[in-house]
Amino acid sequence: MQANISESNSFKTQTETGLYIILTTDEDDMRPVYISGNFNNWKTQDNDFMMEQIGINSYHFKFPLGFDYPETLLYKFTKGDWSEVEIDPNGNRTENRSTKLHTGIQKEHVARWRKNWLPFKQSYLPKVQLISDEFEIPQLNKTRKIWALLPHDYDKTEERYPVMYLQDAQNLFNEKAAFGNWEIDKKLAVMSEYKIGNIIIIAIEHAEEDRVKEYNVGKTVLGKGQGKKYIRFVTDTLKPFVDANFRTKTEREHTGIGGSSMGGLVSIFSGLKNPEVYGKLMIFSPSLWVVPELKINPKKAFSADTKIYLYAGGNESETMIEHTHAFYEKLVTTEFVKDKTKINLSINRHGTHSETYWSDEFPKAIEWLFFQSK
């Protein structure tokens, strides 16, 4: 009799706190499980909606009493981003789960989790278009190969898209790249399947032996660079061409620039010098050691904050984490970004200075920068 009373009280407690979701899975790999849905802008790593593990392959989550539910609650389970979302037993995308319940118990089950962005569907791959083999760079009296990665259904819509300008195109989607590549085409395919990959990527190849010189801005420990001229090229020449020839959203809040290592450094300077143009910065493992006295002009701050995704790995160099943290603090204290929630500092203690880790970070950065409202 006592057991029945206890179970009754337990159920009463659960229902009084709102909807109670119990999840079981066939695969347990120790990664935390999150609920993502139309109640939190489909954020995939929202700590407010992280489920509690209650046993082997079992989790639960209680919506608080008084929670502001949508009329129909739509949701999915993830392990932290769309590369790690639930899939069916055959590896296919699952449809959104839904319920109109605001109280009571909802039991769910996940057969498999997507891992390492596999599998992806060929039909969702972006359309890779060579803009030019020899795009003129008048500021440097050079030419460069430049690519556009367009959404898979670009030719079937009249939609306009945000744009991300990325450095080092040779290492972004080239299967034959010497040091591997970011596989951004495959990552965008998976993201598009979940309706968060509708973005144009402009990939600019680096200058081979002159790469460091072009990405080096001003006088630094590496000597005098050509970075200022390169930034003028991307900002004053390339962006107007892209906006004139593709269906882009031209405003700063829809325009980003990014890269890794020296490509990350020149992207930082692009954003600092032209905040009226670039509202999103994707900075991976920046070579901040090149400019130990980097200055940020707070007068360049805008009321519409720049959004910055800043990543570093713990196994890159002895000073990578230190320099990245210092840069983060400088951004906050100078109020270049007035709202520090618009700086996402991501540290992977095991990360090395390599395409493998930048590849893993890319979709997380794109999702946070362009497809999350907060």
Query: 13 with 140, same domain?
Result: no
Is the pLDDT at 3 greater than 50, yes or no? Answer: no
Residue type present at position 223: G
pLDDT at residue 303, rounded to an integer: 53
Is the pLDDT at 87 greater than 70, yes or no? Answer: yes
Residue that is last in its domain, among 91, 113, 135: 113
Residue of higher predicted confidence among 294 and 83: 294
CATH number at residue 85: 2.60.40.10
Query: 224 with 340, same domain?
Result: yes
Query: 279 with 359, same domain?
Result: yes
CB 146 within 8 A of CB 202: yes
Number of structural domains (the chain) is: 2
pTM score, two decimals? 0.79
Of 108-117, 144-153, 184-193, 287-296, highest mean pLDDT: 144-153
Q: Work out the pLDDT band at 97, boundaries 50, 70, 90.
A: very high
Query: 134 with 105, same domain?
Result: no
Q: Quick check: bond before 64 cis, omega within 30? A: no
Query: 130 with 219, same domain?
Result: yes
Residue of higher predicted confidence among 178 and 258: 258
Q: What is the DSSP letter of 285?
A: S
Mean pLDDT of 286-300: 84
**Across the chain, what does the average pLDDT equal?**
88
Cα→Cα distances 36→112, 114, 208, 216, 366, Å: 17, 15, 42, 41, 17
Render pLDDT for 330-344 as a digit per residue (tens, 0 to 9). Answer: 888 887 887 888 899
**142: Cβ–Cβ under 8 A, 6 or more apart, which residues?**
207
Mean pLDDT of 237-259: 97
Q: Work out the pLDDT band at 179, boundaries 50, 70, 90.
A: low
Q: Name the residue range of residue 81's domain.
A: 2-113
CATH number at residue 303: 3.40.50.1820
Q: Work out the pLDDT band at 302, boundaries 50, 70, 90.
A: low
Nearest-angstrom CA–CA distance, 281 and 271: 7
Query: 109 with 131, same domain?
Result: no
pLDDT at residue 12, rounded to an integer: 45
